[in-house]
């Protein structure tokens, strides 16, 4: 795909001829592409980018990467039941989340852990959710990685793919109308909806694009094109020019971005947000990256792709390395600091894991809560019957969950 | 006032009292194909009453997202027969939204209105009664009014209920049923049934448009000297077990009737529950009088539907057992 250093979000009536170009600022070696343009990008879009901010971003990616590594192993050891890693997509997460704030409401798929991490979800909260323990905000009700946080304006993840897309369009409508009621000409935030290239084949994708475009809602549809839906490569998923090219047909804005370039993702997200807010229109944003990890802990991706291919992406085009090299070039990071950060983050993850493992399951009394706002008479009856049964065979049900 | 006007009044009242309330769906802007939203756009503006693209899963998903942000979403699915593209959004998303978040998020502001039931010429795809698909899903409420007064009161209660509600409107009654509907704001409580006519010989249970049929069947029974206690459930999930169980304790007999196919229908749930609660009081096996296990047949509709004669026969059978 052609690369461009021009940050342009195309409207539907001015789309590029041929293949949509990929917006990139920073090359694999961490150098700013066409330094003049690259530096002017930094000056324009990240004037506050200083050492502290850069290191915070790097540290978050490091934590995410350590967490993925350690939680994957914890699953293999049988300590947690399931896990999904973000390897290869760290720059997509940190690049986009740094362009958003807590007033933006997030609908995620499941592989956007770094976005939630940047918003402030703590290591304990991640670990508690994966262990379904009494600290889990979701009360142990969903499989690992289905995080949710009202405080961080992050809608709870659900397993069915793409259902979050039309919901994001509706949430954006709520924000738009609220602003109107308050006499404001733009809403406080946008809805941002993440999904994968496979999810874009579902009917809900079409529903969401068409609703958001016709009803004019401030939403960013953020497609993480990472090449795979479990084992299915994109060539079996679509025949057109990726996902972003569909923006034209829906009458939307669109932009394609190098997902391994943290700066490019950040700039594109910021620009998409500005357009969505100022025009009350949706933007389709497609990041191009590669899912380095397996789909989930239930998957072995070497059965459908070569280890050489994975190795190439890990070693030659690794989003964390790319940003690290940029920071090294600025004199903000060196090998010693990187090793130290990695070590510190590894320890934080390990500590959270050990703590979470000891907390134990939520109280059984929560089983019948939150189905409806109030328990129905039938639920009260079922709860009583269950507790009576459990009391009869305490040894069978000891220990609470699982 | 007829039923579509009562629904219209209910929505008007809801929108007057809640400035986050919006009404949307296919053809809603001009008043809806059944005229339920007529005049609302003029009164509340195009921001709050609008057409959506023709896409039921989009309507449901959009409404969930709107409600998740604290708004009140009144969505219309133009026919109950076309609600199935929205099934995933309603069953996997709306119903579990609160539970899966540990109570952090909910979409309780969502109400999905949809017309259901036979009209005499609807065939497979304009006649179905899909309530049992939804009663099988914890997390959503299912409501069906039998006439205009309840339509307005139950609709207002559904819109204001802090849980997602599927509100099914018997479309045969939109114009046919006329009642003296109270002005202004009132709610009919969800989860409560009503004894429409008291009787001591047999309990007859139904909901929605089927109650017109059951009233006729009860009249026929009365002329044969059988006193039926006729109960309107109004809400199917959660349903009023108490009102039916107390009645059956008294009468010892139960007939449940609905238009949807008998196998897997909601009558099975009622009969099963009542035999658990009332076994020793029962004088006869409970009887279901429902649609056949066929797709809804256009030309043979009168043979398919559980009409007053089929109900009359069932009533006589359980009474004479």
Segment holding A288, helix H or strand E: strand A283-288
Residues A6-33 have pLDDT tens digits of 999 999 999 999 999 999 999 999 988 8
Asked if A202 is an interface residue toward chain B (Cβ–Cβ < 8 A), one would say no
pLDDT of residue A45: 63
pLDDT of residue B204: 98
pLDDT of residue A38: 65
Assigned token pair, A374: 């109030």
Pick from A21-30, A175-184, A301-310 the range whose average pLDDT is largest: A175-184
Asked if B73 is an interface residue toward chain A (Cβ–Cβ < 8 A), one would say yes
Nearest to B213 by CA among B107, B122, B306: B306
- B291: distance to nearest CA of chain A, Å? 27
**Following DSSP, what letter does each residue of B81-119 receive, concatenated?**
GG-GGGHHIIIIIGGGHHHHTTTS---TTEEEEEEES--
Range A248-267 burial, b when 16+ CB lie within 10 A, else e: bebebbbbbbbbbbbbbbbb
SS3 content of chain B, % helix, strand, coil (to 5): 40, 20, 40
Measured at the CA of A368, the angle between CA B155 and CA A354, to 5 degrees, comes to: 135
CA distance B318 to B321: 5
Q: Looking at domain B3-176, which CATH architecture does it have?
A: 3-Layer(aba) Sandwich (3.40)
Pairing of the two strands B287-291 and B254-261:
parallel
pLDDT-derived band at A315 (thresholds 50, 70, 90) equals confident
> B194 Cβ partners below 8 Å, 6+ apart?
B231, B232, B234, B243
Range A200-236 burial, b when 16+ CB lie within 10 A, else e: bbbbbbbbbbbbbbbbebbbbbbbbbbbbbeeeebee
Residues B95-113 have pLDDT tens digits of 999 999 999 999 999 999 9
CA distance B27 to B77: 10
Assigned token pair, B268: 């099975």
Among residues 119-178 of chain A, which lie with CB inside 8 Å of chain B? Answer: 136-139, 141-142, 146, 148-150, 155-156, 158, 160, 163, 165-175, 177-178
Segment holding A271, helix H or strand E: helix A262-279
CA torsion sign for A29, A34, A39, A42 is negative
In this predicted structure, the answer to whether residue B209 has a pLDDT above a threshold of 80 is: yes
Contacts by residues A55-60 (CB-CB < 8 Å, ≥ 24 positions apart): A55/A327, A55/A332, A55/A333, A55/A341, A57/A94, A57/A98, A57/A262, A57/A323, A58/A320, A58/A323, A58/A324, A58/A327, A58/A333, A58/A338, A58/A341, A59/A341, A59/A345, A60/A94, A60/A114, A60/A117, A60/A118
The better pLDDT of the pair B206, A38 is held by B206
pLDDT-derived band at A193 (thresholds 50, 70, 90) equals very high
pLDDT-derived band at A48 (thresholds 50, 70, 90) equals low
Segment holding B311, helix H or strand E: helix B308-319
In this predicted structure, the answer to whether residue B259 has a pLDDT above a threshold of 80 is: yes
CA distance B316 to B310: 10
Pairing of the two strands B141-143 and B235-237:
antiparallel
In this predicted structure, the answer to whether residue B89 has a pLDDT above a threshold of 70 is: yes
For the full predicted model, state whether its pTM sits above 0.90.
Answer: yes
Q: Which residue of A has its CA nearest to B54?
A: A207
ipTM of the complex: 0.96
Asked if B139 is an interface residue toward chain A (Cβ–Cβ < 8 A), one would say yes
* Residue spans per domain, chain B: 3-176, 194-319
pLDDT of residue B17: 98
Residue in A141, A150, A214 nearest the CB of B99: A141
pLDDT of residue A399: 73
Are the beta carbons of A372 and B92 separated by less than 8 Å? no
Nearest to A259 by CA among A89, A12, A48: A89
pLDDT of residue A44: 67
Give the CA distances from residue B11 to residues B6, B17, B34, B159, in Å, rounded to whole numbers and listed in that order. Answer: 9, 10, 14, 8
CA distance B183 to B6: 10
CB–CB of B132/B158 below 8 Å?
Answer: no
State what percent of residues in chain A have pLDDT above 70: 96
Catalytic site residues of B?
Answer: 56, 126
Is residue A293 exposed (0-12), middle (13-18) or buried (19+ Cβ within 10 Å)? Answer: buried
pLDDT of residue A256: 98
CA distance A328 to A387: 60
CB–CB of B74/B155 below 8 Å?
Answer: no
Nearest to B13 by CA among B156, B150, B190, B166: B156
Q: Which residue of B has its CA nearest to A362?
A: B102
Average pLDDT over residues A223-244: 95
Same fold, B3-176 and B194-319: yes
Pairing of the two strands B194-197 and B228-232:
antiparallel
SS3 content of chain A, % helix, strand, coil (to 5): 50, 10, 40
**Three-state DSSP state, B133:** helix
Average pLDDT over residues B174-193: 96
In this predicted structure, the answer to whether residue B114 has a pLDDT above a threshold of 90 is: yes
In this predicted structure, the answer to whether residue A34 has a pLDDT above a threshold of 90 is: no
In this predicted structure, the answer to whether residue A321 has a pLDDT above a threshold of 90 is: yes
* Residue spans per domain, chain A: 3-358, 364-397
Alpha helices in A283-397 (DSSP H): 307-315, 319-329, 335-358, 377-392, 394-397
Least confidently predicted of A175-184, A287-296, B110-119:
A287-296
pLDDT of residue B18: 98
**Which fold, A3-358?**
Rossmann fold (3.40.50)
**Which fold, B194-319?**
Rossmann fold (3.40.50)
pLDDT of residue A40: 67
Q: Which residue of A has its CA nearest to B164?
A: A372
Alpha carbons within 13 A on the beta-carbon side of B127: 23
């Amino acid at each position: 795909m052609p690369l461009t250093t021009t940050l342009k979000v195309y409207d539907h009536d001015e789309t590029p001829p041929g293949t949509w170009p990929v917006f990139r600022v920073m090359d694999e070696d961490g150098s700013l592409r066409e330094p003049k343009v690259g530096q002017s990008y930094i000056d324009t879009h990240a004037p506050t980018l200083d050492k502290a901010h850069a290191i915070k971003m790097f540290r978050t990616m490091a934590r995410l990467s350590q967490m993925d590594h350690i939680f994957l192993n914890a699953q293999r050891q049988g300590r947690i039941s399931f896990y999904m890693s973000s390897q290869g997509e760290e720059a997509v997460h940190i690049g986009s989340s740094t362009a958003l704030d807590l007033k933006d409401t997030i609908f995620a798929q499941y592989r956007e852990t770094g976005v939630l991490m940047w918003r402030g979800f703590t290591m304990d909260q991640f670990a508690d959710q994966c262990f379904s323990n009494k600290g889990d905000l979701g009360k142990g009700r969903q499989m690992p990685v289905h995080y949710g946080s009202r405080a961080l304006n992050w809608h709870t993840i659900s397993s069915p793919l793409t259902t979050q897309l039309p919901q994001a369009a509706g949430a954006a409508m709520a924000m738009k109308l609220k602003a109107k009621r308050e006499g404001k000409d733009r809403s406080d935030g946008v809805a941002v909806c993440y999904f994968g290239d496979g999810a874009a084949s579902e009917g809900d994708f079409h529903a969401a694009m068409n609703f958001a475009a016709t009803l004019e809602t401030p939403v960013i549809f953020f497609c993480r094109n990472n090449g795979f839906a479990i084992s299915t490569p994109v060539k079996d998923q679509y025949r057109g020019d990726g996902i972003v090219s569909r923006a034209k047909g829906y009458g939307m804005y669109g932009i394609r971005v190098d997902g391994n370039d943290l700066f490019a993702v950040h700039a594109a997200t910021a620009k998409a947000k500005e357009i969505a807010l100022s025009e009350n229109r949706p933007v389709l944003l497609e990041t191009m990256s590669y899912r380095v990890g397996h789909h989930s802990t239930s998957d072995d991706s070497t059965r459908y792709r070569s280890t050489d291919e994975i190795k190439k992406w890990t070693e030659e085009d690794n989003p964390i390395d790319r940003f690290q090299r940029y920071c090294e070039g600025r004199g903000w990071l060196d090998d010693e600091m990187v090793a130290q950060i990695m070590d510190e983050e590894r320890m934080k993850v390990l500590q959270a894991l050990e703590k979470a493992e000891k907390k134990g399951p939520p109280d059984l009394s929560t089983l019948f809560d939150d189905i409806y706002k109030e328990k129905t008479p039938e639920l009260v009856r079922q709860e009583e019957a269950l507790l009576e049964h459990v009391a009869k065979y305490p040894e069978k049900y000891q220990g609470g969950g699982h | 006032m007829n039923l579509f006007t009562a629904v219209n009044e209910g929505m008007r009242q809801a929108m007057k009292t809640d400035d986050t309330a919006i009404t949307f769906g296919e053809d809603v802007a001009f008043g809806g194909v059944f005229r339920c939203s007529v005049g609302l756009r003029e009164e509340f503006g195009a921001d709050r009453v609008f057409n959506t693209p023709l896409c039921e899963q989009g309507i449901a998903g959009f409404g969930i997202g709107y409600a998740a942000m604290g708004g009140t979403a009144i969505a219309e699915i133009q026919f109950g027969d076309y609600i199935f593209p929205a099934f995933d959004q309603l069953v996997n998303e709306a119903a579990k939204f609160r539970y899966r978040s540990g109570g952090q998020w909910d979409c309780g502001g969502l109400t999905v209105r949809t017309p259901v039931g036979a009209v005499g010429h609807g065939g497979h795809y304009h006649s179905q009664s899909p309530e049992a698909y939804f009663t099988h899903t914890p997390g959503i409420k299912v409501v069906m009014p039998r006439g205009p007064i309840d339509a307005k009161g139950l609709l207002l209660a559904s819109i204001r209920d802090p849980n997602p509600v599927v509100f099914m409107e018997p479309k045969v009654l939109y114009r046919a049923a006329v009642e003296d509907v109270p002005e202004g704001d009132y709610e009919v409580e969800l989860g409560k049934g009503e004894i429409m006519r008291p009787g001591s010989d047999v309990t007859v249970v139904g909901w929605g448009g089927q109650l017109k049929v059951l009233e006729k069947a009860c009249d026929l029974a009365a002329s044969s000297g059988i006193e039926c206690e006729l109960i309107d459930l109004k809400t199917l999930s959660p349903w009023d077990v108490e009102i039916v169980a107390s009645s059956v304790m008294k009468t010892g007999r139960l007939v449940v009737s609905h238009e949807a196919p008998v196998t897997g229908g909601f009558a099975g749930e009622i009969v099963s529950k009542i035999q658990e609660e009332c076994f020793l009081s029962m004088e006869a096996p409970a009887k279901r009088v429902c649609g056949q296990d066929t797709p809804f047949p256009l030309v043979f509709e009168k043979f398919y539907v559980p009409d007053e004669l089929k109900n009359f026969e069932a009533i006589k059978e359980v009474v004479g057992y």
